[in-house]
Amino acid sequence: MSVRKLKPITPGQRFRVVNGYDAITTDKPEKSLLAPKKKSGGRNSQGKMTMRYLGGGHKKRYRIIDFKRDKQGIPATVATIEYDPNRTAFIALVNYQDGEKRYVIAQNGLQVGQNIVSAEKTTPDIGNAMTLANIPLGTIISCIELRPGQGAVMARSAGTFAQLIAREGKYATVKLPSGEIRMILTTCMATIGAVSNSDHQLLVGGKAGRSRWLGRRPRTRPVVMNPVDHPMGGGEGRASGGHPRSRKGLPAKGYKTRKRTKASNKYILERRKK
């Protein structure tokens, strides 16, 4: 994993920091695992704009990822490590012994030619998926299920990882990337190791055009709007905007929006860090 700082031969490259892509082994995706990805440009079925600041961007094809890792007990060999335009993490193409090919989220340190397996109980090697009941305490994990058979929903982004810190009865205690400590059923699956592409946070776009390539249109600051458009708009001259809040008037920066009576609150032992 490395990043490259470009030489400032153009104004847009002066501050640009790009990924070195050292871990990537091919630029040709597996055709059988591609699906079309349609863009809406932020418009609904009537053609009306319902999401602002979306539109444009490079054409993409979706890579079908195996988040469930439900091919139990059959070893698979890592064929390639690839870039995925739909997520920050790298993905790995794995070839199962029965001939099937699948994409999985690549963990840090996963190598081409390495064998990985998904089973209820197996060795805690990088890339292997197993139930929380059989993972050794203190292990760094990622791609965690919240409900058995649901598929990975937590710690899937580049460089993220969680830690298994305790087990009691049918629940395991996991410290999540946000700092939250919560209980998860021990029958849920998780993958050993941290997610790849940990240098993603160091990248710098360098110019406004890169945001357009990614499908993001210019965003208007609320402070410069009129009062009819936003609660923070209006005022004489360059007004500060008052209390930070959303377009609908909900306070931001510290205001808790989570319901106190939410059913899953009982599984959260410690809230995320502010």
Bridge partners (DSSP) listed for residue 185:
171
Beta bridge pairs of residue 17: 5, 204
* DSSP-based three-state secondary structure for 273: coil
Domains of the chain: residue spans and CATH? 3-200 (2.40.50.140), 220-274 (4.10.950.10)
pLDDT in tens, 144-176: 999 999 999 999 999 999 999 999 999 999 999
In this prediction, residue 98 has a pLDDT band, given cuts at 50, 70 and 90, of very high
Choose among 161, 159, 154, 183: nearest CA to 270: 183
The token duo for 115 is 């064998």
> Do 129 and 190 form a contact (C-beta atoms < 8 A)?
yes
Give this prediction's pTM: 0.93
Dihedral angle at the C-alpha atoms of 184, 185, 187, 189, nearest 10 degrees? -10
Q: Work out the pLDDT band at 223, boundaries 50, 70, 90.
A: very high
Give me the mean pLDDT over the 114-129 stretch: 96
Average confidence (pLDDT) over 90-100: 96
Q: Which residues pair with 204 in a beta bridge?
A: 17
Task: Dump pLDDT digits (tens) for 184-222.
Answer: 999 999 999 999 999 999 999 999 999 999 999 999 999
Given this model, what pLDDT does residue 118 score? 96
What are the CA-CA distances from residue 120 to residues 73, 89, 108, 117, 131 (Å)? 8, 25, 22, 10, 5
CB 37 within 8 A of CB 61: yes
Does an H or E element contain 102, and which?
Answer: strand 101-105
- What is the C-alpha separation between 185 and 267, in angstroms, rounded? 10
Q: Give me the pLDDT at residue 257, please.
A: 87
**pLDDT tens per residue across span 12-33:** 999 999 999 999 999 999 999 9
**Residue 7 burial by Cβ neighbours in a 10 Å radius (0-12, 13-18, 19+):** exposed
**Which residues does 123 contact at the CB level (< 8 Å), separation at least 6?**
none
* 3-class secondary structure, 34: strand
Q: What is the pLDDT of residue 273?
A: 80
Q: Looking at residue 85, what is its pLDDT?
A: 97
Residue 1 has a pLDDT of: 65
Helix (H, G, I), strand (E, B) or coil at 200: helix
User: Residue 105 pairs with which residues in a beta bridge?
Assistant: 91
